[in-house]
Chain A
């Protein structure tokens, strides 16, 4: 069974702080990793789809890296803003699965 783990479970930062969180997954039979942002009362929104070892992707102040050999991805937010407050979900395809398996998410709260 594919197990996707995220840490920390929750994070409280001040506006302007930079922050990062981790997604770990089994490195064998890796296919793709997704990051989503889920704001309260809204739909989860796709941030990045990453497939290649060493991939780095960026969208505004948010960026992500991928290490498929050791089985982890980092999501970075530079200069956090209150509107960044959300749950950040990581999900993987892998092995025999043909669907995304999600981690439990990191809940980010940015205080103004």
Chain B
């Protein structure tokens, strides 16, 4: 594709339910990042995948959050037993030499937990 794709674009879920967010990076992106922006906050780092290395999970806010990247391409971010404080825009970004090492962001998933 022409850019980083994220799905769904919007998700409303009930508190306590699990959600799965998907990111499809551009071919050639060696690294993939998940960030989120909560209302009134800056972009908060969640997790980072680089090649076959173990992911950097240092930004995940709790053990309810997990992510995987299959085959060095598609990534899914899973939030179990969602809470209202999980409501945010979740952004995925790819990075590689094709972007001169700037990030290419997807358009995000707006998650609302009610």
Contact = CB atoms under 8 A, between A and B. Distances in A.
Given A43-B107, A99-B33, A99-B48, A49 B42 contact: no
Interface size class of B (residues with CB under 8 A): 20 to 34
B68 to A, nearest CB: 17
Contacts, number: 51
B102 A34 contact: yes
Given A43-B4, A43-B108, A103 B100 contact: no
A98 interface: yes
Contacts of B12: none
Interface in B54-80: 56
A48 B29 CA distance: 18
A86 interface: no
Interface of A: 32, 34, 36, 41-46, 49, 89, 91, 98-105
Interface of B: 3-4, 33, 35, 41-43, 45, 48, 50, 56, 91, 93, 99-108
